[in-house]
Structure 1
């Protein structure tokens, strides 16, 4: 499953540079699938909708850092554990129960994001 940042976030920003998928954004910042990777063209999101990889999506949170579930792989294929959670000083990076994925699905997402 993806990781989420809870409302306990203190906006320190320690998590953002640690994400190998560029899935973490500062509150209020728009996100795209293509941020930090070479993905182009159409990309299918969790909710079934298809967006252009360069389409600017609205922020998931305006107040705190947030993680885009469609880009989060829990660091599978990169690290032993989610790096955002390992560097968070207030332990606000936790599993997101809304997005259940197997290790195989997370690795497939990694491959799709890192052509």
Structure 2
């Protein structure tokens, strides 16, 4: 499942640099996560790094983008990370 940043985000910049898939970007009001790039850090880490660094816990699972571990791994393998 991709992750989602809620409107509780305070734009602290902590998550932006932590995303190995470059899925997090600055949206109009808050940071956002591109569900096409988010793999919950599968392929890089054991757990999502954005969740670990978020000081206010405003990142959650995105119910609109449910994916299995295998689907997330396949997405990771299809990404071209620079």
TM-score (norm 1): 0.68
Partner of 2:4: helix, strand, or coil? strand
Partner of 1:25: helix, strand, or coil? strand
Partner of 1:104: helix, strand, or coil? helix
- Structure with the larger helix share: 2
Is the CA contact (8 Å cut-off) linking 1:13 and 1:26 kept in structure 2?
no
Q: After TM superposition, which residue ranges in structure 1, 4 or more long, deviate above 3 angstroms? A: none
| Corresponding position: 1:113 with 2:79 | yes
TM-score (norm 2): 0.95
Shift, 1:22, TM fit = 0.2
- Higher-Rg structure is 1
Gaps of 5+ in 1: 28-61
**What corresponds to 1:97 in structure 2?**
63
Shift, 1:24, TM fit = 0.2
**What corresponds to 1:3 in structure 2?**
3
Gaps of 5+ in 2: none
Shift, 1:114, TM fit = 3.4
